[in-house]
Amino acid sequence: MGSTDGSAKREHRRFGRTCTACGTSRLKSQLVRFVRTADGGVAIDPSGKAPGRGAYLCADAACFAAARKRNKLAAALRISISADEYDALERDFNDRCVSHTDAR
């Protein structure tokens, strides 16, 4: 049954993730997951369950810009990301973030 000592809250926090750019810890549902694909590319994982190495960013354009500027996303995924790939990811990210924040 339910626990009154707060242990359920602590257990719930355990499943949070950290933004690669700003280091903020949030619930998985509040972040956007990027995944390294089998062919060595990178894609946004809308389900959050795709196989492969993943990295999370806040659903905020500033976090994407910071991750790109400091190459944090590429480092977390252990790949190199070209400028063209970043441009395509940024367009997809911005499209998803608008719908992600509207859904709240």
* Residue pLDDT tens, the chain, 104 long: 455 555 555 544 556 899 999 999 999 999 999 999 999 999 999 999 999 999 999 999 999 999 999 999 999 999 999 999 999 999 999 998 865 554 44
| Predicted model pTM | 0.80
Name all domains of the chain by residue range, CATH numbers in brackets.
17-102 (3.30.1230.10)
Sign of CA dihedral 82, 84, 23, 10: negative
Q: How far is CA 38 from CA 12, 18, 41, 56, in A?
A: 31, 23, 7, 18
